[in-house]
Chain A
Amino acid sequence: MEHFDLSLVNWSRAQFALTAMYHWVFVPLTLGLAFIIAFMETLYVKTGDEEWKRITKFWMTLFGINFAIGVATGIILEFEFGTNWSNYSWFVGDIFGAPLAIEGIMAFFMESTFIAVMFFGWNKVSKKFHLVSTWLVAVGANLSALWILVANGWMQYPAGMYFNPDTARNEMHNFWEVLFSPVAINKFLHTITSGYVLAAIFVIGVSAWYMLKGRNILLAKRSIIVAAVFGLVTSIFLALTGDGSAYQVAQKQPMKLAAMEGLYEGQEGAPLIVVGALTPGKQFDDDMDPYIFRIQIPKMLSFLGYRSGDAFVPGVKDLVEGGYTYVDKNGVEKVALSAEQKIERGKIAIKALADYTAAKDANDTVAVAYNRALLNDNFEYFGYGYLNNPKSIIPNVPLTFYSFHIMVALGFLFIGFFMLILYLVYFRQFKINKWILRLSILMIPLAYIASQTGWIVAEVGRQPWVIQDILPTVAAVSRIDSSAVQITFFLFFTIFTALLIAELRIMFKQIKIGSKEGDK
């Protein structure tokens, strides 16, 4: 790794993280609020009650603000691929090309067309056509997310492709394997569901503010009912997809799982940490206790990760040192290689690529065939060849551990919150005390924290890889001047902060105005 400019790598990573996290401030509310609005409009069309129409239009305005401020913020990530991550974008080009092209067409035709009908068509198209348009906006927004998340899922678990050494690109040989990769499907379902939960909390929080202020009460009560039911159902589904995601992580990214749980020494019947604090400065090869304190559920990590309470879960040390037995994707029992052995295999693969290219130029067909076979045999460890130290395969354990536990704790808090709200709605006839209304408002930032920590787990936990096992972050970066990346980092920071302030100001103003007509 000594020939890589770590300052450039770190600034490029920081910039990508900044833009992705800001982008993700806007996206989840769009994904979830679109469905909540569609449900509200469905109630309007079914009952003919004009109050439902007013409620739908009110939330549609907030949806529009969020959509307008957030739209195209994701394009900056694509700019960064071309400039900061040119090796990566070339390396994955064919895999990313198809999903992103479909995303672009789908986003343009579905969202752009039907969003216009949704906002402009109230008195110009029939009620049913308008309702269909609203549903299509919701479906379109979520399908757009599908293609991006399929691309991200492929990076976590590269499936359905082969590496072409002539072009240095990964080429898709099976589109369906890419689309229906279990990692991609789980990632998609878990991610969009988190957006639904966030949107439900947003609607309840804003409605709670109206109830505290004693205005727009009917709007608030009806919105709370729709959002709480939607929120409870989707938050339970969120927990189930979270379990599915963690299962996939255990199979495909065991180091990430070990970091999520702070598990340094592997064990059979591994416990799940419910609450805990890590010992600062803990290294994988020292004798320090990894935890200052912990509350754990015995055998639960083994059960969740491998569907057996007695299964062996490798820890950070096992993954670095190898030697444990595991079952590979073909169901064959194998002894795990150490990181050092994988690095050796990776270096063989990189050298084979270099020798293959040289042999091709020299028209040496024997050497071409030999090096191609050597590359194929070792390609699954290609990325390890860029690492010089076995410790390099360990991600930031504390950041991954705490992010994971914050996300999970908040996820369960939200389930309890929705249950509490529904209990108060149905059994206490909306007698919600002021503290619970205030708590409901506080839930909004907590939902955003949960959403962001989820991405930290996914992306920090998979380091050092930009494509699991095949390309580390250090090799994916373009050789450009790090000062250029620093300048654009601060430029983006300024632009995104301005956009966020604009969103918050317009949103708060609109919430204060409330629904113009109907109940007071």
Chain B
Amino acid sequence: MIVIKRIFRFYYEGFKSMTIGKTLWIIILIKLFVMFAVLKIFFFPNILKRNFKTDDERSNYVIEQLTNNPKK
């Protein structure tokens, strides 16, 4: 518990004493928000994960794509 407390204080005081780091953290957080909450969700779905439930279905789809010969 003491170790966790010390680690927390280490980070807390570190972040608190930052100067330029605060601007950088704001940029990092905005960037991560745009990437994961906007781009990933609305623009970059994992097509195979979204469209198919199992790995077998994914395999079959990719084989169809690669052979250009849809499975019946």
Which of the residues A72, A91, A120, A357 comes within 8 Å of B32, measured between beta carbons?
Answer: A72
Chain A residues with Cβ under 8 A from B69's Cβ? Answer: 354
Chain B: interface residue count, which band?
35 or more
Residue interface mask A50-72, B partner, CB < 8 A = 1:
00000000000100110011011
Q: CA–CA, A166 to B17, complex, Å?
A: 57
Chain A residues with Cβ under 8 A from B13's Cβ? Answer: 120, 124
Quick check: A119 and B43 within 8 Å, CB to CB? no
B71 CB within 8 Å of chain A:
yes
A7 CB within 8 Å of chain B:
no
Within 8 A of A (CB), among B27-72: 27-28, 31-32, 34-35, 39-40, 43-49, 55, 58-60, 62-63, 65-69, 71
Tell me the smallest distance from the CB of A188 to a CB of chain B, in Å. Answer: 26
B20 CB within 8 Å of chain A:
yes
A193 CB within 8 Å of chain B:
no
Quick check: B47 and A495 within 8 Å, CB to CB? no
Given A69-B27, A71-B28, does the pair A357, B67 have CB atoms closer than 8 Å?
Answer: yes
Chain B residues with Cβ under 8 A from A76's Cβ? Answer: 35, 39
Quick check: B24 and A64 within 8 Å, CB to CB? yes
Given A168-B62, A495-B34, does the pair A82, B48 have CB atoms closer than 8 Å?
Answer: yes
Given A357-B71, A475-B66, does the pair A79, B20 have CB atoms closer than 8 Å?
Answer: no
Which of the residues B14, B20, B31, B62 comes within 8 Å of A87, measured between beta carbons?
Answer: B62
Which of the residues B28, B45, B62, B68 comes within 8 Å of A83, measured between beta carbons?
Answer: B45
Which of the residues A80, A357, A479, A510 comes within 8 Å of B63, measured between beta carbons?
Answer: A357
Given A82-B46, A506-B20, does the pair A68, B28 have CB atoms closer than 8 Å?
Answer: yes
Chief secondary structure at chain B's binding surface: helix
Residue interface mask A379-415, B partner, CB < 8 A = 1:
0000000000000000000000000000000000000
Quick check: B44 and A83 within 8 Å, CB to CB? yes
Quick check: B67 and A353 within 8 Å, CB to CB? yes
Chain A residues with Cβ under 8 A from B60's Cβ? Answer: 357
- Minimal Cβ-Cβ distance residue in B for A120: B14
- Minimal Cβ-Cβ distance residue in B for A516: B19
Q: CA–CA, A186 to B28, complex, Å?
A: 33
Tell me the smallest distance from the CB of A475 to a CB of chain B, in Å. Answer: 7
Which of the residues B11, B45, B48 comes within 8 Å of A120, measured between beta carbons?
Answer: B11
Q: CA–CA, A488 to B42, complex, Å?
A: 10
A491 CB within 8 Å of chain B:
yes
Q: CA–CA, A350 to B20, complex, Å?
A: 56
Quick check: B46 and A121 within 8 Å, CB to CB? no
A330 CB within 8 Å of chain B:
no
Q: CA–CA, A76 to B39, complex, Å?
A: 9
Quick check: B66 and A353 within 8 Å, CB to CB? yes
Quick check: A87 and B66 within 8 Å, CB to CB? yes
Chain A residues with Cβ under 8 A from B28's Cβ? Answer: 68, 71-72
Given A491-B43, A495-B34, does the pair A121, B10 have CB atoms closer than 8 Å?
Answer: yes
Q: CA–CA, A117 to B29, complex, Å?
A: 21
B31, B66, B67 — which one has the most chain A CB atoms within 10 A of its CB?
B66
Chain A residues with Cβ under 8 A from B55's Cβ? Answer: 167
Given A169-B59, A506-B20, does the pair A86, B43 have CB atoms closer than 8 Å?
Answer: no
Given A65-B24, A86-B46, A502-B27, does the pair A116, B32 have CB atoms closer than 8 Å?
Answer: no
Chain A residues with Cβ under 8 A from B71's Cβ? Answer: 357-358, 361
Quick check: A82 and B20 within 8 Å, CB to CB? no
Chain B residues with Cβ under 8 A from A479's Cβ? Answer: 65
Quick check: B24 and A116 within 8 Å, CB to CB? no
20 A-B pairs with CB atoms under 8 Å apart are A64-B24, A65-B20, A71-B28, A72-B32, A75-B35, A76-B35, A79-B39, A79-B40, A82-B47, A82-B48, A82-B49, A91-B62, A120-B10, A166-B59, A168-B59, A358-B71, A479-B65, A488-B44, A499-B27, A510-B20
A120-B10, A357-B71 are known; give 4 further A-B pairs, CB within 8 A: A65-B20, A350-B67, A357-B67, A475-B66
Residues of A within 8 A of B (CB): 3, 61, 64-65, 68-69, 71-72, 75-76, 79-80, 82-83, 86-87, 89-91, 116, 119-121, 124, 166-169, 350-351, 353-354, 357-358, 361, 475, 478-480, 484, 487-488, 491, 495, 499, 502, 506, 510
* 3 A-B pairs with the lowest CB-CB distances in the bound complex, closest first: A120-B14, A82-B46, A354-B67
